[in-house]
Amino acid sequence: AEQIIQADIQDMPLRDASMDVAFSSLALQWVPDWKKAFSEIRRVLKTGGILCLTSLGQDTLVELRESLQKAGPYMPLLPFRALSDLVTVLMQHGFQIIDKKQKSHVRYYSSPKHVFEMLKGLGSTHKGWSTTKHMKGKDWLKRVESTY
């Protein structure tokens, strides 16, 4: 029987070698430990199982990242990694690369506030953001906006 399971990619509630296909769309870039994630995916996939995934690349949110750095102390964004890094980690975990594609898609936001709203809408958060005193208030946002 087919099932769709939503779970933490680093700790899936599944038996070893129990899945034919693992699918991850725009989630991997938010995972701090790729090695743990791919070990877990390898664990639950059957021999010959397929992993299909999409992820954001190294140039994602580069303007926002630069503005945050210029604005002063901040909680850094998780690093977005290069496709070559992804391929290396996949191969280290026994995955065979059947196909890979890299596309650039540029989306423009008028201000960092709009980027933050978009990220929040995606469910993207960082554990340290809510406790970082430098990332609160109008003064901080003005500094970020002035460098965006």
Q: In whole angstroms, what is the distance from residue 140 CA to residue 144 CA? A: 6
Banded pLDDT at 133 (limits 50, 70, 90): low
Quick one: average pLDDT of 72-85?
78
Per-residue pLDDT of 82-125, as tens digits, reads 999 999 999 999 999 999 999 998 899 998 888 888 888 877 76
**3-state secondary structure at position 25:** strand
Tokens of 140: 């901080």
How far is Cα of residue 54 from the mean position of the Cα atoms in its chain?
10
Quick one: average pLDDT of 65-84?
80
